[in-house]
Structure 1
Amino acid sequence: MLLGSALCLPGCSLLPFGADKDPALEGAAAPPAFSVQVQAPDDVRETLERHLELQRFRNLPDLQASELQRLLGAADANARELLGTMGYFAPTITIELIETPDDQTAPRSVRIGVQPGPQTRIVNANIAFADGKPEGGGKADKKEDEESQASARQQQLVRSDWSLPPGEPFTQSAWDTAKTGGLRQLQAHRHPAARIADSRAEIDADKHEARLDVTYDPGPAYRFGPLRVVGGQRYDPDGARRLAHLPTGAVYDEAQMLDAQLRLAGSGYYDAVFLTLDTEGSDPQAAPVVAQVQEASLQKLVFGPGFSTDGGARLSLEHIHNRMPGLGWRAVTKLALERESQLASTEWTDLPDENGWRWFAGGQALREARDGYRVNSGRLRSGSSKNTRNIDRNYFLQYDYANSQGTDAPPPRSALSLNYGWTGRYFDNPTAPTRGHGVALELGLGSTLQPPHDPFVRTLLRWQSLIPAGRVQDSAGRGRDARLALRTEAGAMLARESAQIPAPQLFLTGGDTSVRGYGYHSIGARSGNGQLYGGRYMAVGSVEWQRPIVYGGTMTDWESALFIDAGAVADRAGDLRPRVGLGAGLRWRSPVGPLQVDLAYGAKTRKLRLHLRLGYNF
C-alpha cells in the first residue's frame, strides 16, 4: 500500500485542482496583446512572418509597454539575422508601434517595413582537400599511385558537382546543402570516414559578395573486408556471406553495401538486416563489414485474403520452410484460390555458391477458366539462377502438360524444353522508379512429347523505359519530374503448323499489366467458332504520361496518368490485329510501393473497365 501511494503521488499534480494555472495558457485564450504586420517583398515576407521571435509574445497577458519596447529593440537584430540567412546583409528596416484601441483584434499593431536590398551572390568558391598521405615515406608503388589518381578524380567530381558556383545567390540553407552534398559524395564512395575539416563564408555586405571556402578531409581510402554476422544463430554465417555477395577487396561503395543488405533482407532468412562498415579497425584496405541480423523463424505459415480486378477476390495460404530436412534448401509452398483460377505451387532454392549461382526446382498445378472451357495444366522445372545488382540470369529444364475440358477443347498436350532467361534493370529505384529502363529476354528450345515430336523455338522480349518529360514545382520550389512510360512486349512460338503445343507455352494478353480496358488474358487467337485460345504470336505496346499533382500550392504523393495501350495475339504474324485501350488514372506513392488506379475504355468491347494494382515489378 505504501509503495502504491508513493507511485500515485506524482500523478496528483496533474489533476486540475492540484496544479497552478499557467499564465501563458490563460493568455492564449485572451485577445492578442498586439498584432504584427510585415511589409516586405514576397520572397522574404513569409520567412519573417513565420520565424520572427516577436511572434512568440503576441499572446502574453498584461504585456507592459516598457517590455514591448524592449522586444521591439530586439526585433531589428532578429530580422537582420533572418535576412542574412537568405543573403540580404544590407537591409533597410523600420519598426513602428501604432496604438489601435478601436481594433477589436488587438489594441496595438507592430508594423515592420523591410527593404532587403541587393541579394549577396557568390564570387568565388574554393573547394580544397586535406592531404591524407603520410609524412615521409619512400616512393609510392603502383597500387598507391592508382589509388591516388582515383581519389583525385573523385575530388574533381566533387568540385564539378558543387551546387553553389559563382553567380548564384548566397543563402545559409544553400551553403549548408552544398557543403553536405560534397561530403556525401566522398562518403558514398571510397572515403566513408570523410569529414569537413574547415569551412568559412566571407561576406562583403557593401559589395554584396560572398567568398566560400571549404576544406574536406577525405581520410583513408577503404576497401571491403570480410562480412561478419552479428545476431545469427539458426542459419550458417557462410550462407549469409554468399547471399550478400559483397565484393571483398573491392573499393568501398555505399550503393554496393546497400544492395548486399537488400539481398540479405529479401532472402527470407532474416526479418531485419543492417550493414555497417567497421572504420575503427587498423587496416582500411580490409575493413570488416558488420551485418546485424534478426533471423526469421525456421517455418512460417501465411494466410492472406486479397482482391484484384483481373482475378477478383483471392484467398492464399503459403508455407515457408527455410531449411528443409535432409536437403537444406528453402521451400515456399503456396495455395491460391481466385474466381477464375486455382493454383498450387512449390519452389525450392539452394543457397548461392561462391560465384552467386544457386540451384532451384519447382512445380505447379493450375486450373483456369477460358472462353467456354477450362485448362488444367502442370509444370515442372529445375535449373540454376544468378541475381546481381542489375542483371538476373537463369537457365532451366521445363516440362509442361495441359489437359483442357469443355466443348471443342484441345486434346491433352505436353512438351519438354530447355530455357534461358536474361533480365536487365537499370532504374533509379527498384520499387518505385521514376527514370531508367529495363529489358528482358526469354528463349526456349524444345519438343512436343506427342508423336511426331515436333521441335519448337519460343522467344519473348520485354522492354520498358521511363523518360523525364518536364519538371513540376510547387509554390515552395519543391519539384518532381513528369515522365513518359513506354512499354513493349513481343513473343513468338516457331513450330510446324500441326505441332501440338501445350497451352501454357502459347500467348495470351490483356489485363492490369498489359492491355488495360480488357479482361485478364481476354486477348488471344480465335477458333472458327469464335472460341478463345492461346496464339503463337503476340505484340503489346503502351504509352503513358505521368504527372505529379500539386494541390493547394503543395506537392503531393499523387500523380495523374493518361495512357493508350494496344495488344494483339494470333497464330500467324500477318493476322495480328491490335486491340486498343485508352484511359486515365491516378498513382499514389505509398510506403509499400506505387498504387495504380486506372479507368480504361476498350475500343473493341466498347466498355469501361477499372484496373487496380499495387507495387511495381519488371
Structure 2
Amino acid sequence: MAAENTSDSAKAEDDAGKRAAFTVEVKGPDKVREYLAQNLEIQRYSRIPDLGTTELSRLMVAAEANARELLATLGYFTPTLTLELNETPTSDKAPRAVVVTVEPGATTQVTSAQILFNGPIESDPGAAAQREAIRKGWSLPPGQPFTQQGWDNAKTAGLRNLTAKRYATASVVTSRADVDADRHEAQLGITYQSGPAYRFGPLKISESKRYNPDAMRRVARVPTGEDYDQQKLLDAQQRMASSGYFDSVFLTLDTAADDPQTAPVLAQVREAPLQKVVAGVGFTTDSGARLSLDHTHNQVPLLGWRAVSKLSIDNDTRSLGTELNSIPDDNGWRWVNSALVKRENAGTYDVDSGRLRSGRSKSEDHIDRSYYLQYDYAKNRGTDAPQSAAAVSGNWAWTARYFDNNATPSRGYGIALELGAGYTLIGERLPFTRTFVRGLGFIPLGDVTSSDGSQARNSRIQLRGDLGAVVAKDAAQIPSTLMFLTGGDTTVRGYGYQKIGSELTDGSIVAGRYLGVLSAEWQRPFVWKGKLTEWESAVFVDAGAVGNTPSELKTKVGVGVGARWRSPFGPVQADIAYGEATRKFRLHLRLGFTF
C-alpha cells in the first residue's frame, strides 16, 4: 500500500508539472480570432515554470502591441482591444487565463494604386501590351480590402509578370503603402525597373559528354532570336527532360552576357545511363496483376537512335515490343520505327498479332502529329472466327490537348484523329479505310469552396466519346487489331475489358468494323468539415456499341458512382458500375490520366 501511495503522489506531481503557467483565449470575429490565437507571441511563454504575476502583467502589455501589429497586417488599424487576467485555480490546464477580446473595427480599403515603370520598358512601343497587362492584372485594385499579405502578393505577382517576358532582370525600385487609419484608406504606389530587354541566344550545355551539342539543340528547340519568354524556356527544359537522355535538366538565361539581344541559354544537365533496365509490377481491374520489364538504350550503336523495349505480361495480354526514335530535325520531326508481337484475349477469342511500323512524328506544345506505314498480322484462335488476316496501310494521326493540367485536368478539351487506308494481304486483296476519332472535354458548373472561402475548385461535367469505322467489302479479311472492341475502365464501365464487340450467331464476341462510345460524368469536389479535400465524387453513365455494320450496333449501357483522389502519385479513380446488359455490378480501379 505504501508503494501505491508513493506512485500516486508522484503521478499527481508529474501532472501538476505538465500544467501550463497560463492559457490564452481570444474572443472576437472568426476572421481575426483564429489568426491571433495562432500568432500571438505571448503563447510562447505559457510553459515557463514559476511565472509570477508581475512578469505576466509585463507580457500582457507586450501582447497588446503585438495584437495591434497582427491586426494591422489584416487591414485593421483601429481595433479595440481588452486584455484580462483571470485566476482559474480549478482548471486542469492552467491556474490563470489571459483573455483577449477584439473588436477589429472597419477594414481599410484601397483607394488608389499607382503602378509605374522605369528603364527601357518606358519607351519601348513593343512593351505597351505588357505594361497594360501588368496594370490590369494588379491583384489589389481600388475597392479591395487592404492586407499586408495582399500587398506583398500584388507586388510579387507584378514583378513575376514583368520578368516572365523580355525583361528577365526586372526589379522593384520603390514601393509604398500610405495608410490613413482614421479614414480607413490606403494609397498604394510601386515603381518597377525593367532592365534591358533580352532575346534568346545559343544553347550552351555543360556536363554533356555523350551527345552531340547540335543534336541536343534540336531536342530542346530553344527559339533562338526571339524575345525572352520564361514559358518558352520552361517548355524547352521540359522537352530535354522528357527526351530520356537526361536524369536532370535545368535551363537558365545568361543575363551576365555582354549583349542582351543574344543572351545564351545555359543548360545544366546530368546524363541518364546509356542503358537502363526497369522491372515493374502493377494491377488493373481490366487485366489483373501485371509484370513488366523495360530496357532503354539511349544511343544504339551505328544508328545513334534511342531504343525502348518492353515485355509485359498480365492475365489477358502478353506482349513484346521495341521502338527506335531518332533525334528530331530542325523542324521537330523525328523518325520512329517499331515492332510488336502480342497475344491477348479480345472478346471471347485469343488473338496472336504482330505489327511493324515506320514513319515520322512531331510533338509540339499542344499538338502531336505522325504519319507512318504499318503492317499488321492477326490470327484469331476460334472455330467460328476468321483464322488469320494481314494488311498494309498508310496512316496519319493528329492529337490536340488543351487541358489546364495534363496530369489532373478539370478544364479544357482534347481531340484525337486517326486516318488510314490500305490493302488486305490474305485472301482476296481488297482496299479498306480506317477512321477513328476520340474526344474529351469538361464543362465547368461552378466552384465548390471551403467554408471560409479560402479554397475553391470547380465541379464539372466530363464528356467523352469515341467513333470508329473500317470501311471495306464484306469479303475483306481485315486484321482484328485494326477493328474495334470496347468495355472496361476507360471506355464503358460495368463491362469487362474489350468484352463489347460484334456478336456472332453462337454468342461469341469478336472485333467489329464500327464503334460508338459516349460517356457523361458529373465530378464534384468533396468538402469535409468545411475544408476542401483532395477527394471528388462522380456519377456517370456510359454507353457503347460495336458491330460489323451500322445496323448491327446494339448499345450497351453502364451506370454508376465513383470517387476520385488527387494523390501525390497522380489521380486515382475508383468506380462501381452496373452493366445494364449483364445485370451485374463491376468494380473499376485506375491510376493516372492519359489522353
**Alpha-carbon contact 1:560-1:586 (below 8 Å) kept:** yes
AA matched with 1:101: P
Residues 104, 463 of structure 1: alpha-carbon distance in 2 compared, 3 angstrom cutoff: closer
- Determine the C-alpha separation between the residues in 2 that align with 1:29 and 1:551: 37
Distance apart, 1:218 and its partner CA: 2.0
1:74 aligns with 62
- Determine the C-alpha separation between the residues in 2 that align with 1:591 and 1:28: 43
- Determine the C-alpha separation between the residues in 1 that align with 2:303 and 2:200: 32
Distance apart, 1:587 and its partner CA: 1.7
1:33 aligns with 21
1:128 aligns with 116
**Alpha-carbon contact 2:513-2:548 (below 8 Å) kept:** yes
2:511 aligns with 534
Matches within 5 A, 1:136-285: 148-285=124-261
- Determine the C-alpha separation between the residues in 1 that align with 2:428 and 2:592: 44
Please list every run of 5 or more consecutive structure 1 residues that lacks an aligned counterpart in the other structure. Answer: 1-25, 135-144
SS in 2 for 1:241: helix
2:554 aligns with 577
1:322 aligns with 298
Matches within 5 A, 1:91-106: 91-106=79-94
554-563 or 298-307, which deviates more = 554-563
SS in 2 for 1:433: coil
- Determine the C-alpha separation between the residues in 1 that align with 2:77 and 2:295: 67
Please list every run of 5 or more consecutive structure 2 residues that lacks an aligned counterpart in the other structure. Answer: 1-13
How high is the TM-score relative to the length of structure 2? 0.94
Distance apart, 1:609 and its partner CA: 1.2
- Determine the C-alpha separation between the residues in 1 that align with 2:543 and 2:383: 30
- Determine the C-alpha separation between the residues in 1 that align with 2:584 and 2:345: 21
SS in 2 for 1:174: helix
Query: Are 1:591 and 2:591 matched, yes or no?
Result: no
Distance apart, 1:451 and its partner CA: 4.6
2:95 aligns with 107
Query: Are 1:511 and 2:488 matched, yes or no?
Result: yes
SS in 1 for 2:120: coil
- Determine the C-alpha separation between the residues in 2 that align with 1:578 and 1:52: 65
1:425 aligns with 401
Distance apart, 1:555 and its partner CA: 2.6
- Determine the C-alpha separation between the residues in 2 that align with 1:575 and 1:211: 72
2:581 aligns with 604
1:383 aligns with 359
> Percent of aligned pairs with the same residue?
54
Runs of 4+ in 1 over 4 A off after TM superposition: 26-29
68-77 or 392-401, which deviates more = 68-77
AA matched with 2:236: A
- Determine the C-alpha separation between the residues in 1 that align with 2:110 and 2:208: 53
- Determine the C-alpha separation between the residues in 2 that align with 1:232 and 1:180: 35
SS in 2 for 1:56: helix
AA matched with 2:443: I
* Aligned residues: CA RMSD: 1.7
Deviations 1:507-550 (A, max 9, x none): 11111111111111111111122211111111111111222222
Query: Are 1:118 and 2:106 matched, yes or no?
Result: yes
Residues 516, 576 of structure 1: alpha-carbon distance in 2 compared, 3 angstrom cutoff: same
SS in 2 for 1:300: strand
- Determine the C-alpha separation between the residues in 1 that align with 2:71 and 2:349: 75
**Alpha-carbon contact 1:27-1:59 (below 8 Å) kept:** no
SS in 2 for 1:157: helix
**Alpha-carbon contact 1:27-1:60 (below 8 Å) kept:** no
**Alpha-carbon contact 2:347-2:501 (below 8 Å) kept:** no
SS in 2 for 1:183: helix
Residues 485, 133 of structure 1: alpha-carbon distance in 2 compared, 3 angstrom cutoff: closer
1:491 aligns with 468
Distance apart, 1:371 and its partner CA: 4.4
**Alpha-carbon contact 2:121-2:194 (below 8 Å) kept:** no
Distance apart, 1:102 and its partner CA: 4.2
1:565 aligns with 542
Deviations 1:325-371 (A, max 9, x none): 11111111111111112111111111101111101111111111244
- Determine the C-alpha separation between the residues in 2 that align with 1:133 and 1:594: 43
1:10 aligns with none
Distance apart, 1:427 and its partner CA: 1.1
AA matched with 2:116: A
AA matched with 1:258: L
Distance apart, 1:202 and its partner CA: 0.6
AA matched with 2:31: D
